[in-house]
Amino acid sequence: MTIRTDLALESCETLAPETPGLRIETEEAPQAKVTRITVLDAQGAAAAGKPVGRYVTVEVAPFATHAQYIDGSFPTLRDELLRMLPEAGEVLVAGLGNPRITPDAFGPRCAAMMFATRHITGELLAQTGLQALRPVSVLATGVLGETGAEASEWIRGAVQMLHPAAVVALDALAARSVERLGSTVQLCDSGIVPGSGVGNARREISAATVGVPVIAVGVPTVVDAAALLAQGRPDGAAQAMMVTPREIDLLIERASKLTALALNCALQPGISPEDMLILTA
């Protein structure tokens, strides 16, 4: 039985640390645990089932029970995002998913809390009292069934018009372990295939398809039911179901707020997190 997961950490759990083509390192940070997995070549990609690239997992206190945003986990997530982002240039932030379906609303909720700055220039910038703002634009792609267009098509069109240095794609993920629901943030620089973790893969969003580097940021909100069902349940029934926790509304609200805050502060390091919360309220 194949149990789906979007998390590189889970894909590599059964692999030996010295697996050829992979580099895995773990760091304990204040109120967070960071695992960095680098898929170095085709051999590593075959072993991990992930494309060549960097995958960072930040494990934090469960969002459903932890209400603080500016604590030890915040600077850890912000700093890991800083390592992924290009040092300069405009950034397009794209929120993927369906805002009407709570487990899939992480991307749109994050997008709604992003600090869009591309239009703040000249006199308007002077009026803010800030010396400089990194240009950031924001796009909520919606879903194919409502818009008639793939998220990758919206993003590729926006890239052709705006010419950003990179795209940050925000999306809900699927996990294999229920313990990682709402307590994990994954970052990677290899792009994303929306819906792949729930068996509904859409078109890939990556440098190869949109023309600029794509950093994917996600939080697992569903788990494959095959990992939870009691023995004896038919495989077909198990593989057809995904499960989400009953506190999913709280999970999405807090995960979106922490992720958006960390990304906003990584993009605008001259603004304090306290001020950023006011600007994006």
pLDDT digits 0-9 by tens, 158-207: 999 999 999 999 999 999 888 898 899 999 999 998 765 445 556 899 99
Could you give the CA distance from residue 13 to residue 143 in angstroms, rounded to a whole number?
Answer: 32
- Give me the domain span that covers residue 248: 8-267
Could you give the CA distance from residue 79 to residue 58 in angstroms, rounded to a whole number?
Answer: 11
pLDDT digits (tens, 9 = 90+) for 26-84: 999 878 999 999 999 999 999 999 999 999 999 998 887 766 666 778 999 999 999 99
Could you give the CA distance from residue 174 to residue 192 in angstroms, rounded to a whole number?
Answer: 13
Q: What is the pLDDT of residue 239?
A: 56
In a domain, 126, yes or no: yes
In a domain, 201, yes or no: yes
Q: For the chain, what is the domain count?
A: 1
Q: Which of 120-124, 134-138, 148-152 has the lowest mean pLDDT?
A: 120-124
In a domain, 279, yes or no: no
In a domain, 219, yes or no: yes
Could you give the CA distance from residue 98 to residue 192 in angstroms, rounded to a whole number?
Answer: 16
Could you give the CA distance from residue 26 to residue 225 in angstroms, rounded to a whole number?
Answer: 28
In a domain, 273, yes or no: no
Element at 73 (helix H, strand E): helix 73-84
CATH number at residue 73: 3.40.50.1450
In a domain, 42, yes or no: yes
In a domain, 281, yes or no: no
